[in-house]
A and B are shown apart, each in its own frame.
Chain A
Amino acid sequence: MTPAPTDRAMTPAPTDPAMPPAVIELRGATKSYPGGVHALRGVDLRVAQGELVAIVGPSGSGKSTLLNLLGTLDRATSGEVRVAGYDVNRLSDAQLSALRARHIGFVFQHFHLAPGRSAQDNVADGLLYGGAGLRERRARARTALEEVGLGHRIDHLAHQLSGGEKQRVAIARALVGDPDLLLADEPTGALDTASGALVMNLIRQLHAAGTTVCVITHDNDIADSLPRRIRFRDGEIVDDSGPPGPSGSPAEHTDSPAEHTEEVPR
């Protein structure tokens, strides 16, 4: 899935001639809800192909709202949103559905698995709306489950799995379609530390294999361990550690301990 060429001059990110194409581009994106709630107040963001980004910030700061825009589940009130090369504002609801089916994978805090169905069927549903046949969906689901280390749980029903296993099934469902972008909203939020670590390892592996990933997290240790961190407050990006330098190591950035204390939910 190669994103279409984009207008580089408009990209807010640092200009590097060898920079990989953007998977996400936001320019002045805002989101307001009726009643005067401004969940996002003009966000500029560029995430290039292959990045792994942590999104942090206090509760209510607009992280999930941002993820919904990135996942095209919601539309920005104003501003430009481009995902996988597509201008989201110009796409119809049906086209957005197709965009999600082919280019975006989601992982949720509460897994969202169908309880009475097997791990394999749950994962295979990740391909249902992309047009693949049942046989192919099942085969790829099996492979995806093996990739997340659940080869031995293929026929288990979703409600028979542990929380960590459920989240790994959910990750398998998100990656089975080979998306350009994986969005995870607090994927470790409902898990114990050990299961959470396993899930994060999985996400790192996906990143290492080339998938672009955005993870919302409340866990500072997790956030600090990721190559790029974007900090939100009151619907604005207050800090962006920026894409990692050409060496591959995260570009060091101002990240004072004082700011960490503010992540306590309000």
Chain B
Amino acid sequence: MSGPALRPARLSPADILRTGASGLRTRRTRVVLSALGIAIGIATMVAVVGLSTSSRADLLARLDRLGTNLLTAEAGRNALGQDVKLPKSAVAMVERIGPVQHATATGAVDARVRRSDAVPEELASGVTVQAARPDLLDALNARVDQGSWLNPASERLPTVVLGSVAAERLGLTAPGAKILLNDRWYVVTGILAPIELVPTLDRTALVGYPSAERYLGFDGHPTTVFERSTDASVEAVQGVLARTVSPGDEGSVKVSRPSDALAAKAATDKGLTTLMLGLGAVALLVGGVGVANTMVISVLERRSEIGLRRALGATRGSIRIQFLTESLLLSALGGTAGAALGAIATFAFARTQGWIAVVPPWSLAGGLGATLVIGVVAGLYPAVRASRLHPTVALSAS
């Protein structure tokens, strides 16, 4: 009855792309504007993820540099509310704990700090005095900003090294000046850089043990013991540290791990990150609606093109895939631009913060994936509508 079986030819993937792109090429302004919505959404999300990852990576790098194996044991008060003193032998006892590699201590010195004798004694300078051992700096991974640190010679002399905040409070920008500790003149030999692990030491004036004992009436009892052990044994050491530094009075000793405070910071900006991600998602959604709108208008405007293609032999399926491809290309365009923008923003901001920029590949992949989903969702309805247009109706619409 009929000729050979009729089977519509399948378009090659390249032809599908070409026909999908053909509708975009002639409407550039509209393409740019509707891709922009998607781009903004994706850029926001990529940048938010990139920045929070970069800042966390920076924090981890800092922790890595400073070490997470430092523990401090601080003398507190006993059940009766009296100040507890750590025994003089505390450091030696801590050093006896197996995995401990290094232990040192500071002791609170009851001394007033004044810039000069013109300053009345009652006026608090906000700077406290601590006796320190020369090995303190190494234990804390801290460094001197200007001048020099205590050494076995200077720790016996009336010389003092100031924390960064202490120097600021005393109005000193360089070593060399003399300050009053109680009524004794001390020469400032050094100013420390901020101590990231133990910021409380930034507000102190550090003197040697022998000097403190000799000139300031220091009793030689440490108030804080600093200790570094192997990474693997930090928790084990933490368990026995209080008992070791103050046998019988361990309840009044506060043991802490300074790096925990830094690590906690990483978690604190999580809320903001989530909020920004939400904003990005809203922008993306709006962008998707923009693409859908553009596609619906495109189908309405191009009825005669659709009719012509049907006359040339396009099946409903080819029309559907053409408009779906167009929608996908449109949002992929926005998605790619957005991912690039987000990455650039991350790099630029990280640079100003001195961080190493980290743009996780999953955020780029996720952004582009979301783009494709949006492209399909936004394009499906217009594409189906286009494919359902009756060829004769479409052709007479010119």
Binding site for B on A (CB under 8 A): 1-4, 68, 71, 73-74, 84-87, 90-91, 93-95, 97-102, 106, 108, 110, 112, 114-117, 125-126, 128-131, 133-134, 173
Contact B3 A4 (CB under 8 A): yes
Q: How far is the CA of A106 from the CA of B313 in the complex (A)?
A: 11
Contact A85 B2 (CB under 8 A): yes
9 A-B pairs (CB sep. < 8 Å): A4-B3, A98-B7, A98-B8, A101-B312, A110-B304, A128-B313, A129-B8, A129-B315, A131-B10
- Say yes or no: is B85 at the interface (Cβ < 8 Å to chain A): no
Chain B positions 210 through 236: 1 when the CB is less than 8 Å from some CB of chain A, otherwise 0: 000000000000000000000000000
B:355-398 near A, CB below 8 Å: 390-392, 395, 398
When A114-B305, A116-B26, A128-B15 are in contact, do A94 and B2 touch as well, CB less than 8 Å?
no
Q: How far is the CA of A114 from the CA of B312 in the complex (A)?
A: 13
When A102-B313, A106-B311 are in contact, do A95 and B6 touch as well, CB less than 8 Å?
yes
Contact B392 A97 (CB under 8 A): no
Cβ-defined partner of B9 (8 Å) among A98, A108, A125: A98
**Interchain residue pairs A-B with the least CB separation, the first 5:** A101-B313, A131-B9, A129-B313, A116-B26, A98-B8
Contact B22 A4 (CB under 8 A): no
Q: How far is the CA of A95 from the CA of B7 in the complex (A)?
A: 6
Contact B3 A114 (CB under 8 A): no
Contact B8 A87 (CB under 8 A): no
Contact A129 B395 (CB under 8 A): no
Residues of B near A134 (CB, < 8 A) are: 14-15, 18
Contact A129 B312 (CB under 8 A): yes
Q: How far is the CA of A90 from the CA of B8 in the complex (A)?
A: 15
Cβ-defined partner of A87 (8 Å) among B2, B7, B14, B18: B2
Contact B6 A126 (CB under 8 A): no
Residues of B near A126 (CB, < 8 A) are: 312
Contact A98 B311 (CB under 8 A): no
Cβ-defined partner of A128 (8 Å) among B7, B19, B25: B19
- Say yes or no: is B314 at the interface (Cβ < 8 Å to chain A): yes
- New A-B contacts (16) at CB < 8 Å, excluding given A85-B2, A95-B6, A130-B313: A73-B395, A74-B390, A74-B391, A87-B1, A87-B2, A93-B315, A98-B8, A100-B313, A101-B8, A101-B312, A110-B304, A112-B398, A128-B314, A129-B9, A129-B312, A131-B9
